[in-house]
Amino acid sequence: MSSAKQPPFNPSALIIATILNAFFYALMEWIFFVTKPSALSLLSLFEKVRIFFVTGGTMALAALIVLFLLLLPSLFTRDKTQRRLAYLACLVPAFIAAVTALILFDNFTYTVFKFGIATSAGNWRIPYLIGFLLFLAWMTHRTHVRAYKRKKPASVPTFGLLAVSIIAILSVTLSSSNKVSVAGESTAATQKYPNILIIGGDGLSASYLSVYGYTRETTPFLEKLATESLMAENAFVNSSSTTGSTTSMLTGKHPVDVQVFRYPDTLTGDDSFEHLPAILKAHGYQTVEIGVHDYVDAGEQNLLDGFEIVNGRSFDEPTAKIIRSVLGNSPSSQFITTVLARAEERLLHIFFIRDMHNAIKEVDDPNARMTDEQRVQQIKDLLDQTDRPLFIFAHFMDTHGPHFSFSHHVFSTGETEKDWDREQYLDAILSFDGSVEQIYGYLEETGQLENTILVVYTDHGFMYTVNKRIPIIIRFPGQAHAGMRKNNLQVIDIPVTLLDYLGIEKPAWMSGASFLNSELSPTREIVSVIAGSPKKVKPPFFQIKSVVFIVCQKYYELNVQENKLTVNDLIGHTAPCEPESLPPQEEIRAEILDYLEQYGYDVSSLR
């Protein structure tokens, strides 16, 4: 007796499965990011929905291209050979489904139980690996079975969904910024520039540094460095968070200008291309960022066409470049890049190819994060290897609270650690001072000291304060411009001052001012923003908790969430103005409201 005739191979079943799986994957990731603080938080509902369709459509189109390439051989064969080749094509929708399941499971366990792929190490990754492979095999088999059973052609709604996505992709492409340069052609061939090393210590308040008069010797080397450097006595940050402050440092713009107040805010539009590393790269510099994953990371902050190396990886990753070339510098391209990166890092981790970074643990746990000794070694290696002027932006973490890193107990006792232990903070400052000394010593030893600008600064004060003085110390080659600046300065003045020294014209979009050759106005207003809780992002002020204006020895803080103005003296300020030259608090309040209104915030609740 002959067997029943086998149903013909139906490629449309694979097409439908691929499209639906791609959109389901996009939907699950979209829901995850929409329901938590993310770069999507401030977007309109229309823009959020468009991002979903663009993401689903882009993934579906990319997957269909791979699917068709794998399907071609099976279309020219029959029977058993065709069935075997069809299995390869079935891997495409099955792989998307398996990745979706892996991400969903990881999101669930990490959200509910605080464990997941990022917390798994060693052989604990094996259960994830086995589960992924079993699910992939099962989905491949089920898809293969459907390909030989389903006889209906692809549904109109399915292809209609894909058509809508293609239209959305085109609309984003036509409206996206594809700007690629801010500084013009490289002048490296006609001018030799010095290296620039910016060393940022996390959370340094000047009031705890002996170089700024603290009675305990926490910074013996910085005291020596200060005698050779241009030093700011009264300097302040422009943001309370590391992400907001380092972004301002690199762009020379206020947080309100670029709408980056704290992680996970990102640069958008032209702001993504307007920054110091882009200018220096265009002038022949090799540009490197040594920061912290997520929080000090040019990729996460969407700082484009500037750094060549970011946190140990090449910034010009092919996938991200392809996506940006199609979608431009749009929220959709940022979201797709983020989603793909999340899948990539988890797959590489469970396959024992590359360890996944746990950004929160690397920041909060001194035993899990990269050490400052490793950062020093990276800087030394880069100095040895480069054949171009070198720009390094390095964020050091020994002084990051609430738990600090250090090698020796000098001020602390070694007893059980508590959060924000000030004695251990002093030991961490001493450790940071030692790191700067090592870098200085290596520059001197290798003959590069007088061809290097060395900048020491911080992202915010102790416990994220903005109304405390912070260090800014810049050593130029040959000890040029050494001296003291007493009038108020701010972090966004640093990039402008560096460009002034290099003889590169300050771009109109930088808000800071150069203090290279003279004091700035004593009554100049310094503006800083205190970011609110990421869980309380809502109109009318969204990420902003307080706006702080600093004038001479006074700070004026308007808490926009509570409509409360606080006015007080700055501790340790060394260049006070005459009281009659200070603006009255109502005048400053009105200025703060005008400042917010200028950037589109609704201040009616504060009047």
Q: Is residue 37 assigned to a domain? A: yes
Amino acid at 90: C
Q: In terms of domains, do 54 and 155 share one?
A: yes
Per-residue pLDDT of 414-462, as tens digits, reads 776 789 999 999 999 999 999 999 999 999 999 999 999 999 999 999 9
Q: In terms of domains, do 158 and 84 share one?
A: yes
Tokens (6 digits) for 444: 């001197």
pLDDT of residue 545: 95
The backbone torsions φ and ψ at residue 226, rounded to the nearest 5 degrees and listed phi first, read -60, -30
Burial of residue 600 (CB within 10 Å: 0-12, 13-18, 19+) is: exposed
Q: In terms of domains, do 372 and 417 share one?
A: yes
- Distance, in Å, from the CA atom of 598 to the CA atom of 593, rounded to the nearest integer, reads 8
pTM of the model: 0.88
Mean pLDDT taken over the chain: 89
Confidence tier at 312 by pLDDT (50, 70, 90): confident
- Distance, in Å, from the CA atom of 508 to the CA atom of 274, rounded to the nearest integer, reads 10
Percent of the chain scoring above 90 in pLDDT: 68
Confidence tier at 189 by pLDDT (50, 70, 90): very low
Q: In terms of domains, do 200 and 57 share one?
A: no
Task: Give the range among 191-205, 354-368, 496-510 with minimum mean pLDDT.
Answer: 354-368
Which CATH number do you get for residue 294?
3.40.720.10
Q: Which domain holds residue 125?
A: 11-175
CB 528 within 8 A of CB 542: no
Q: In terms of domains, do 162 and 274 share one?
A: no
CB 106 within 8 A of CB 117: yes
- Distance, in Å, from the CA atom of 283 to the CA atom of 285, rounded to the nearest integer, reads 6
DSSP characters over 163-195:
HHHHHHHHHHHHHS-----SS-S--TTT----E
Q: In terms of domains, do 149 and 209 share one?
A: no
Q: Is residue 44 assigned to a domain? A: yes
Q: In terms of domains, do 144 and 242 share one?
A: no
Residue 188, pLDDT > 70, answer: no
Q: In terms of domains, do 499 and 510 share one?
A: yes
Q: Is residue 420 assigned to a domain? A: yes
Q: In terms of domains, do 322 and 421 share one?
A: yes
Q: Is residue 4 assigned to a domain? A: no
Task: Give the range among 33-42, 239-248, 559-568, 598-607 with minimum mean pLDDT.
Answer: 33-42
Q: In terms of domains, do 522 and 547 share one?
A: no
- Distance, in Å, from the CA atom of 435 to the CA atom of 430, rounded to the nearest integer, reads 9
Domain boundary, last residue among 466, 496, 529: 529
Q: Is residue 187 assigned to a domain? A: no
Q: Is residue 317 assigned to a domain? A: yes
pLDDT of residue 363: 85
Q: In terms of domains, do 263 and 146 share one?
A: no
- Rg of the chain over Cα atoms, rounded to whole angstroms, equals 27
Q: Is residue 75 assigned to a domain? A: yes
Per-residue pLDDT of 141-184, as tens digits, reads 999 888 777 555 555 555 565 565 565 555 555 555 555 455 44
Per-residue pLDDT of 504-542, as tens digits, reads 999 999 999 999 999 999 999 999 999 988 777 788 999
How many domains, in total, are found in the chain? Answer: 3
Compute the half-sphere exposure of residue 527: CA atoms within 13 Å on the CB side of its CA. 19
Domain boundary, last residue among 529, 562, 591: 529
Q: In terms of domains, do 328 and 429 share one?
A: yes
Domain boundary, last residue among 508, 529, 550: 529
Report the length, in residues, of the chain.
Answer: 607
Q: Is residue 338 assigned to a domain? A: yes
Percent of the chain scoring above 70 in pLDDT: 90
